[in-house]
Amino acid sequence: MTRTIAGPTDHVVVVGAGLAGLSAALHLLGAGRRVTVVERGAEPGGRAGRLELGGYRIDTGPTVLTMPDIADEAFAAVGASLRDRVDLIELRPAYRARFADGSTLDVHTDAEAMEAEIERFASSADAAGYRRLRHWLRQLYRAERGRFLDADFDSPLQLLTPGLVRLAALGGFGRWEACVARHLRDERLRRVFTFQSLYAGVPPERAMAAYAVIAYMDTVAGVYFPRGGMHALPRAMADVAAGAGAEFRYGQKVTRLERAGERVTAVVTDDERIPCDAVVLTPDLPVTYRLLGRAPRRPARLRHAPSAVVLHAGCDRTWPELAHHTLSFGRAWRGTFRQLTRTGELMSDPSLLITRPTATDPGLAPPGRHLHYVLAPCPNTDIGPGVTEWSTLAPRYRDSLLRELDRRGLAGIGSAIEAECLVTPADWSAQGHAAGTPFSAAHTFAQTGPFRPRNLVRGTANAVLAGCGTTPGVGVPPVLLSGKLAAARITGRPGPGAATRSARRPLEGVRP
CA separation for the pair 25, 244 (Å, rounded): 10
Distance CA 264, CA 462 (A): 6
Q: Which are the contacts of 485, defined by CB distance < 8 A and separation ≥ 6?
A: 150, 151, 152, 455, 466, 471, 472
| Amino acid symbol at 84 | D
Phi, psi angles (nearest 5°) of residue 334: -60, -40
Res 160 pLDDT > 80: no
Q: What is the pLDDT of residue 493?
A: 65
Q: How large is the average pLDDT for residues 141-149? A: 75
pTM over 0.75: yes
State how far Cα 21 lies from the chain centre.
Answer: 14
The count of other CB atoms within 10 Å of the CB of residue 117 is 18
How far from the centroid of its chain's Cα atoms is residue 247's Cα? 26
Q: Are 366 and 56 in contact (CB under 8 A)?
A: yes
pLDDT 10s digits, 368-388: 999 999 999 999 999 999 999
CB 79 within 8 A of CB 245: no
Residue of 355, 348, 406 whose CA lies nearest to 378 = 348
> What is the pLDDT, as a whole number, of residue 163?
64
Give the pLDDT of residue 144. Answer: 79
Picking from 261, 241, 246, 152, the residue whose alpha carbon sits closest to that of residue 489 is 152
d(CA 479, CA 382): 24
What is the helix (H) or strand (E) element at residue 53, kind and residue range? strand 50-53
What does the pLDDT look like over 357-366, one tens digit per residue?
A: 999 999 999 9
Question: What percentage of the chain carries pLDDT values higher than 90?
Answer: 76
Query: Residue 28: is its pLDDT beyond 90?
Result: yes
| 275 HSE (CA, 13 A, CB side) | 3
Q: Which of 84-93, 175-184, 501-510 has the lowest mean pLDDT?
A: 501-510
Q: Is the Cβ–Cβ distance between 59 and 65 less than 8 Å?
A: no
For residue 495, name the pLDDT band (cuts at 50, 70, 90): very low
The answer to whether the CB of 507 falls within 8 A of the CB of 83 is yes
pLDDT tier for residue 181 given thresholds of 50, 70 and 90: very high
pLDDT at 210: 85
Q: Helix or strand or coil: residue 374?
A: strand
The predicted model gives 222-244 an average pLDDT of 97
pLDDT tens across 280-337, in order? 999 999 999 999 998 877 767 889 999 999 999 999 999 999 999 999 999 988 888 8
- Strand, helix or coil for residue 387: helix
Q: How many CA atoms lie within 13 A of 220 on its CB side?
A: 20
3-class SS of residue 91: coil
Give the single-character DSSP code of 281: E
* CA atoms of 105 and 368, how far apart (whole Å): 28
- CA 313, 437, 331, 110 torsion-angle sign: negative
Predicted pLDDT of residue 3: 80
Amino acid at 405: L
| Structural element, H or E, at residue 254 | strand 254-260
Report the mean per-residue pLDDT for the chain.
90
Distance CA 347, CA 207 (A): 20
How far apart CA 417 and CA 370 sit, in angstroms, is 10
Residue 504's pLDDT band (cuts 50, 70, 90): very low
At 171, give phi and psi (nearest 5°): 85, 15
Prior bond of 357 cis (ω within 30°):
no
* Residues listed for the chain: 512
Inter-residue contact 231 to 49 (CB < 8 Å): yes
